[in-house]
Amino acid sequence: MKITPCEHGLEHIGKSGPRTPGLHMSAIYNSLYQEMEPTRFIKGSAPDPLRLEAGLAFESFLEEAIKARLGNGGGRPGELISEEGILYNPDLLCFNGVSRVGEVKLTWMSSKEVPREPGNSFPPKFSKYLCQMMAYGRCLETPHGRLIAFFVNGTYKPMTPELLAWDITFSKREMDENWTMLMNHAKQRKLL
């Protein structure tokens, strides 16, 4: 056997093309969470490119699976713009009796604390996901969301991958408060 390390030719993994000019919703909620949880969301840092690429690949795979297997007319809607001129791009729009904003996450966080039965809350470490879903839902005028998360290491005991999903309905008050928080932050940071 002869083994020789070689170049993989994938130097551009995790580097997407140029974004549409303008303010993106992700700039607002990323900035907000960098201030709210500075040790977790480090200002000026970039996501690990291989983890980012894994997440994007999973989103693409899941979008195709939903189209092919579930046949519900859902999928990625493409880039949209809010009344305020903010660009946003939901992972999915799902139609299962109601229009839902779909958010797809691939994560190395533990699934140990996530809801396994109907309830009314998620652990705080998932608040950014919910903030994002409420912002997109507000722009699309739907309080309904579907969070699909692939936990790479499951609960870590044992380290077994786990795919989970939740249908979430936000109250008008939750959505209004979330939007006010995002817009106030954007104005204070002169993003808007």
DSSP string, 143-173: -EEEEEEEETTTTSSS---EEEEEEEE--HH
24-74: pLDDT as tens digits: 999 999 999 999 999 988 888 877 777 888 888 888 887 777 766 655 556
In 3D space, the residue among 94, 107, 86 whose CA is nearest the CA of residue 19 turns out to be: 86
The pair of three-digit structure tokens given for residue 146, joined into one six-digit string: 């579907």
In 3D space, the residue among 186, 185, 90 whose CA is nearest the CA of residue 141 turns out to be: 90
The pair of three-digit structure tokens given for residue 37, joined into one six-digit string: 């949880």
77-88: pLDDT as tens digits: 788 999 999 999
The helix/strand/coil state of 99 is strand
Element (H, E) at 87: strand 87-88
In order of their start, the domains of the chain are 47-188 (3.90.320.10)
- Determine the pLDDT at residue 70: 55
How far, in Å, CA of 86 to CA of 139, rounded?
10
Question: How far from chain centre, in Å, is Cα 29?
Answer: 11
Question: Per-residue pLDDT for 177 more than 70?
Answer: yes
- Determine the pLDDT at residue 18: 73
* Cα–Cα–Cα angle for 79, 83, 89, rounded to 5 degrees: 20
100-148: pLDDT as tens digits: 999 999 999 999 999 999 999 999 999 999 999 999 999 999 999 999 9
How far, in Å, CA of 84 to CA of 71, rounded?
33
